[in-house]
Structure 1
Amino acid sequence: MAEGTILPRDDVKILSDLARDWVENGWRHTPDEPFDFYERLARFYDWSSEGTQFFDDFDKERRVNMSASQYAAIWDAVIPTMRKLTNVMIGEPHPLVSGDLAVMSVQFVTSFVTAEGEEGRVHTLSSLVWRRSGNDWRIIREHGSGIRPHHG
């Protein structure tokens, strides 16, 4: 095997670690760490390819975005107005890798405080498609849906 060749099991570990970082660090807004989509999440998303698609039902307008920049604009308008947004991943994503594409489902609990002080928690399921670009993996498709309010 050539030096520097990435084995499939290495991709699974890399993608699992990326998913946890994407959930728990990328999608965070606190008074000490204000949210800016590009600053926090640019390294996770494919900003240049055609055929990208991003959706999350936390967006009140339920827009399907055909580029990462459209998707970023939604969250840069919404999240910084909140007092707090944090996520904790549930379990592991178990990515399926085939060549330069990978798919996974990620579950997490989102906790938030609105500008008005309303607190909430939502159990969320996101399905992600990643594409390898050079040595990096980037999200090209995302579908996030709240499963139910989280209690406990």
Structure 2
Amino acid sequence: MRRHAIIVVLVLASVHAAHAQTQSVAGQCPTSGPGSAERRARDVVMVGWERKPGDGPLVFREKFAGDYEWSDARDRLYYDDFSPNPRPVRDPDAYGAIWAPIFSGLRSARHAISIEPTAVYGGNLAVSTLEFVALIEPADGATRPIRTLMTLTWRCHADGWRIIREHNSTKIVAADSIQSYFKTAAK
């Protein structure tokens, strides 16, 4: 009986310590302002995926080093139905392997936020959603206008929020249906 009681106490102590660590880490990730999931989501789109004529090749791991969860494989899943062969992958390097050659070959990719990001926070996780529009211009010059709903799941780490899940749903749209976002963004 005494041995059983000691084991129960040790298990409860380890659960309490793990919970305290989660609470401690979660408290280090902002839920508003710079560093919040909303701001980070906006930056992933507007800084990460933006391409200008003359940009060098996209090196995914370098470009998104502070955005994706690289070392902790728990719960990771990345999916974009706009990829040439839509399929979920569990590793950001595999996700980068899909997009790096495509984005490296683009003449440009201009983005604008059409629905501002919002996020829901709980413990050490956050889920952000936003909608963006983009004018994707391959080397052939035939611009492809798109509208994408992006949902990102973030895990809090000591150095901030990191993406553990990504889901993008994209439609090709008429250029005139999104042109106003780029006129507004240019002002």
Asked if Structure 1 and Structure 2 have the same fold, meaning a TM-score greater than 0.5 normalized by the shorter chain, the answer is yes
- Among 126, 148, 152, the alignment partner of 2:150 is 126
Q: Secondary structure at the match of 1:73?
A: helix
Pairwise CA RMSD: 1.9
Q: Distance in 1 between matches of 2:139 and 2:88?
A: 25
| 2:31 counterpart residue number | 11
Q: TM-score, normalised by structure 2?
A: 0.72
1:40 aligns with 2:63: yes
Q: Distance in 2 between matches of 1:47 and 1:79?
A: 21
| 2:79 counterpart residue number | 55
Q: TM-score, normalised by structure 1?
A: 0.87
CA offset digits 1:3-49 (Å, max 9, x no partner) = xx9588x4133222111111100011212433332222121100112
- Among 47, 50, 71, the alignment partner of 1:28 is 50
Q: Distance in 2 between matches of 1:32 and 1:21?
A: 21
Which shows bigger deviation, 81-90 or 62-71? Answer: 81-90
Q: Distance in 1 between matches of 2:82 and 2:172?
A: 12
Q: Secondary structure at the match of 2:97?
A: helix
| Unpaired segments ≥5 residues, structure 1 | none
Runs of 4+ residues over 6 Å off in structure 1: none
Q: Distance in 1 between matches of 2:172 and 2:108?
A: 20
Q: Is the 8 A contact 1:12 1:94 kept in 2?
A: no
Matched residue type, 2:69: D
Which shows bigger deviation, 84-93 or 65-74? Answer: 84-93
| Unpaired segments ≥5 residues, structure 2 | 1-25, 180-187
- The structure richer in helix per residue is 2
| 2:96 counterpart residue number | 72
Q: Where in structure 2 are the equivalents of 1:92-103 lying within 5 Å?
A: 92-103=116-127
% identical aligned pairs: 31
Q: Is the 8 A contact 2:105 2:138 kept in 1?
A: yes
Of structures 1 and 2, the larger Rg is shown by 2
